[in-house]
Homo-oligomer: A and B are copies of this chain.
Amino acid sequence: MTTPEKRHPDPERARNRRRQVLDAASACFGRSGFHGASMAEISKAAGMSAGHIYNYFDGKDAIIAAFVEENVERVSALLRDLESRGDVLQALLDDVPKSVLEHLDREVWKLPLEITAEASRNPTIAAVVHDADRRTRAIFRPLLKAGRERHGLPADDALLDGRMDAIITVFQGLSARAQHNPDIDNDALIASIHVAMRALLFT
């Protein structure tokens, strides 16, 4: 399942309008949560009529699906960058300081945290995030496999599944951790995540 984009005669204009709605929705969901934010509130924040928004999105579920799709594209670009650097395992490990700090940004991860909570109770959103996760792992898997084989490490299917889920667990966990502990010692946490990631990647 991918996000169905409605067709429009002027794609450039449609893209801008969609962006306008997504930015407004992001602010509204961040403030009031998925259930608390109404389409009326979103349309007011976007400066567009609700009817006009429905030209671009069928409702709040479709807006969330668009955010999830943007995240798939973001992670795909990150994975392509890792691949271009040759030694994928070492590149992942080298990026730990940067990627840990990114995942500790409390503003950036508000919406993904809301989407995770919503997926736990809304089957439509659950299907969207399951599909996005499956596609992301399908891109990650061959990179991790090639990376491990390059270092002569085991790379059977079950091991790759376990390592992928564990690595993503760490990053998803960081965005939650930042909301619970406002006094994180960033350098100390980076050092510890580096230890865990090195073990996950190189053993």
Q: What residues make up the interface of A, taking CB atoms closer than 8 Å to B?
A: 30-36, 106, 109-110, 113-114, 116-121, 126, 129-130, 132-134, 137, 158-159, 161-163, 165-166, 168-174, 176-177, 179-185, 187-193, 195-200, 203
Other than the known A126-B179, A165-B188, what 5 A-B pairs have Cβ atoms closer than 8 Å?
A: A109-B120, A119-B179, A165-B181, A173-B174, A176-B176
User: In the complex, A169→B169 CA distance in Å?
Assistant: 8
Known A-B contacts A173-B170, A189-B162; the reply to A179 vs B116 at CB < 8 A is yes
Among B117, B162, B172, B176, contact of A33 (Cβ-Cβ < 8 Å): B117
Q: How many copies does the complex hold?
A: 2
Contact between A133 and B166 (Cβ–Cβ < 8 Å)?
Answer: no
- Whether B158 lies near A185 (C-beta < 8 A) is yes
Distance between Cα atoms of A110 and B118 in the complex (Å): 9
